[in-house]
Homo-oligomer: A and B are copies of this chain.
């Protein structure tokens, strides 16, 4: 018996009869918000807003007609001069930019260009009220992962109908085969000496615009 066969034999012995099967996972967790948490749709949106703000992210509600102006105002507020965006971002979202240059990520910008940008603007695939999370899946208006992880500022547009109550509800809406990025507030770690350090693994600043149609 070769060493390879020996190793495989030990692995097979160790996993025994359970090979290829999984122990049942407990599914007793809450799949939906309770009445106390959110009785109405407006409560769900309010909870999302509260939880996003709790992650030290800025969050604002706008109407569809106000969106372009709100995007421009957010970028002016940060004195952004150059941003990077997915090529399929709806043009209307950036229609009011004045003095801010937007670079489309096609052909793909190099990492230096992403790092030099003052921020990025994207949509999302879904959002979770209970955890104040936006989820990106690389689909329409979201771009590839580097686009939202390298720049220091991420402005994320969330349509109200994309917001669900809980993580299980979001999972049910999403395609598990896509590259999912779950964003709960700006990037922050406490890895070293329990000291909070922001912006190491993603944007230091996150801003969310909720569009209510």
**A binding-site residues for B, Cβ under 8 Å:** 64-65, 68, 85-95, 102-107
Contact = CB atoms under 8 A, between A and B. Distances in A.
A115 B89 CA distance: 26
Nearest to A87: B92
8 contacts: A68-B104, A87-B90, A87-B91, A88-B92, A89-B90, A91-B102, A92-B105, A95-B104
Contacts of A107: 65
A51 to B, nearest CB: 29
Which of A65, A91, A94, A102 has the most B CB atoms < 10 Å from its CB?
A91
Given A87-B92, A95-B102, 16 more contacts: A64-B106, A65-B107, A86-B91, A86-B92, A87-B90, A87-B91, A87-B95, A88-B91, A88-B92, A89-B90, A89-B91, A90-B91, A92-B104, A92-B106, A95-B103, A95-B104
A88 B86 CA distance: 13
Tell me if A's interface is mostly helix, strand, loop or mixed.
mixed
A103 to B, nearest CB: 7
Which of A68, A86, A94, A106 has the most B CB atoms < 10 Å from its CB?
A106
Nearest to A65: B107
A91 B102 CA distance: 9
A91 B141 CA distance: 9
Nearest to A92: B87
A94 B106 CA distance: 12
A95 B82 CA distance: 13
Contacts of A104: 68, 91-92, 95
A42 to B, nearest CB: 24
Nearest to A95: B104
A65 B102 CA distance: 16
A68 B103 CA distance: 11
Nearest to A90: B88
Contacts of A103: 95
Contact of A106 (B65, B89, B105, B106): B65
